[in-house]
Structure 1
């Protein structure tokens, strides 16, 4: 008999890397993604890869595929942030953020989210179905089916893995509501500009902070990579964030993209030092987008009664703030761990999801605590673990 496929909800980073692991292990799978394509929405900011994240990805991909992936990554010299005062242009020690960002070869390694998804998806295309919005699941006598927003259902699978991000309905259902995501109130804008706009900064990872804003501090983080600096077809990104109440989208609509978001970013930076102005004056206005800062329960990933045929990974299991770039690196660790357990079991076996969740909770809880701790300090935020969630 043909084994039932592993069903994967969502085609984000963690889901696609898990799919790639299953492909390599010859375990059948199907991925369901609500969007029309991988490029349907903006992909957000560039992701920094830690040693743990790179090791996880390398453990999943075959050597030639990993080499292609690693070659696509940007490598930036230095070990941490250089901090600047946005108005004076002076280096400010307290804006540096002392964390070590290096991961391999003495470099800070990063890659755009869109590139990462495309590279992970290689070879999996025929098993990914778009415009399939998973809203829950139903258990069968010997498996599980995903239930879609239009009321239809998937084929029967051996296992359902919820990887649809912070609003995962699979996560809410399987955890009985124990998995929660908190809106921290801080808001940001992501923008991009041609590499020429970044020449006054030079190579490195930079945090530029404006403490003169009357409503509260505003800062950006950006990464300037030498190997792309002279390529006019490349754009570097920057990520702006304001403490709660500072950055606001019109009508609280954070799905707005384009000139509206770009103009608000420019209004915050109109008095910034000339060294930093090109990042905003030359920005690609169509790529500007708002974003919210959210986080899972900072005390750690909660426990719920294990359902052998359903589990979750990535942001669906542990949403994190952008502080430290920890979220994506933890997500790919999930993919590598669950993929390895399924490979060793020869496919779905009872006990696999329990073993995965037990191990995932340990490192993911540490990651959420670290991410929240850095964000609480940098963005002046606090989580009140009350019933109010997203």
Structure 2
């Protein structure tokens, strides 16, 4: 059998986590990314990594890598609020004690997680780490560290061909191609690899959109302080239940950088090949609106058609009658940080069963961000696929058998994650805030 080589299409979180896992396992790989550079495109803001995602990162990153993730995460803040637009209690039933389930089962983990998704361990397991909130670009930079020499930018996938021994070659729009090997579709919701091997299998449009952005904390501190000198949205996460949509707000307060660690390199700086510097990130308040497109954008627009200045104007208009603290949060947002994204979902993820091509993450199982499970599920895919490919590299099982087992397990986990995400979206889209008898989805705060 030929030496195993893996071609990963897409340098998102799932693809890079897989690359790190393969590097650790000693398996040859290349990553191909259509963006021209690591920082060529906006990558998003706050991202909640749960216990399962942390496990996957621990498994795939080099020794000490997970410590780097935790050190660069926002300062952990317990608590959470479920409120109306007037910052009144939304009468959500909270559990008597908060805990963070830490199991190998995604189903058990997310059914047992607290209403707020807060990071507070059980009294009987003080050493169990809780969820962390990270800046998405920071996590991506950590995942790029040490493998930049194997990541090829400016490579837009076009097609695959198969050589005599069954291995696949990925071809790109610029006329170049990969080495023969296994092709991994890690290129997101609008995967070109999926469209090539399974045309017409794109995830469905849900009709929802997410509008998200940030407000610098230096400004937010001036406008969000209450009469007692405490910021109303600074403790944990806040979910605002409006009429037919919801807003999630969370403060991202970072530890001060250790000396030299997040300082961008100067031209004279000597770095190890493949080393990725971490971009400094200032404290900010993250917020995200999620709900029907017609409600948030208006009937006249779609995400693609809306002018750049319109989303923030829509938000400010909707929030005019809200509590001044919330209204000020959006009026002081940085306009260029506001983004609109359609919400897509894969109704029932199924194994692809395509020789030489396998998918992970959103390419296979896109889901609503309302459950906060998309990135964590992709990271788990990466760790699981790494384990299966290691058995192939060690000569224990043939490649087809390993891929079959991976796809079966991955799709089973993904179907449950999609179900939970859809349930969270349904609650967020409720016409009015939940009643006192209603317990919200366990993962609303993960958005």
Give the TM-score range, shorter chain.
0.7 to 0.9
**Which residue matches 2:115?**
99
In structure 2, runs of 5+ residues without a counterpart are: 96-113, 122-128, 225-230, 257-279, 432-447
**Which residue matches 2:240?**
208
Higher strand share: 1
Alignment map for 1:1-390 (pairs within 5 Å) = 3=3, 5-78=5-78, 81-86=80-85, 88-94=86-92, 99-102=115-118, 105=121, 107-142=130-165, 143-150=167-174, 152-175=175-198, 177=200, 179-196=201-218, 197=220, 199-211=231-243, 217-225=244-252, 227=254, 233-248=282-297, 251-254=301-304, 258-297=308-347, 300-304=348-352, 306-346=353-393, 349-379=399-429
Q: Distance in 2 between matches of 1:233 and 1:303?
A: 42
TM-aligned CA deviation for residue 262 of structure 1: 2.4
> Residues 253, 186 of structure 1: CA spacing in aligned structure 2 closer, same or farther, 3 A cutoff?
closer
TM-aligned CA deviation for residue 232 of structure 1: 9.6
TM-aligned CA deviation for residue 294 of structure 1: 1.1
In structure 1, runs of 5+ residues without a counterpart are: 212-216, 382-390
The alignment's TM-score, normalised by the length of structure 2, stands at 0.75
SS at match of 2:416: helix
SS at match of 1:32: strand
Contact 2:209–2:296 (CA under 8 A) maintained in structure 1: yes
SS at match of 1:245: helix
Contact 2:72–2:255 (CA under 8 A) maintained in structure 1: no
SS at match of 1:252: coil
**RMSD (CA atoms):** 2.8
Contact 2:48–2:133 (CA under 8 A) maintained in structure 1: yes
The number of residues matched between the two structures is 368
Q: Distance in 2 between matches of 1:77 and 1:107?
A: 11
Q: Distance in 1 between matches of 2:15 and 2:131?
A: 25
TM-aligned CA deviation for residue 285 of structure 1: 1.1
Q: Distance in 2 between matches of 1:3 and 1:186?
A: 45
Q: Distance in 1 between matches of 2:42 and 2:307?
A: 9
Greater Rg over alpha carbons, structure: 2
Q: Deviations over 1:62-121 (max 9, x none)?
A: 231111112112243336x411111x2212124989735135657541112111111111
> Residues 166, 27 of structure 1: CA spacing in aligned structure 2 closer, same or farther, 3 A cutoff?
same
Further displaced range: 329-338 or 238-247: 238-247
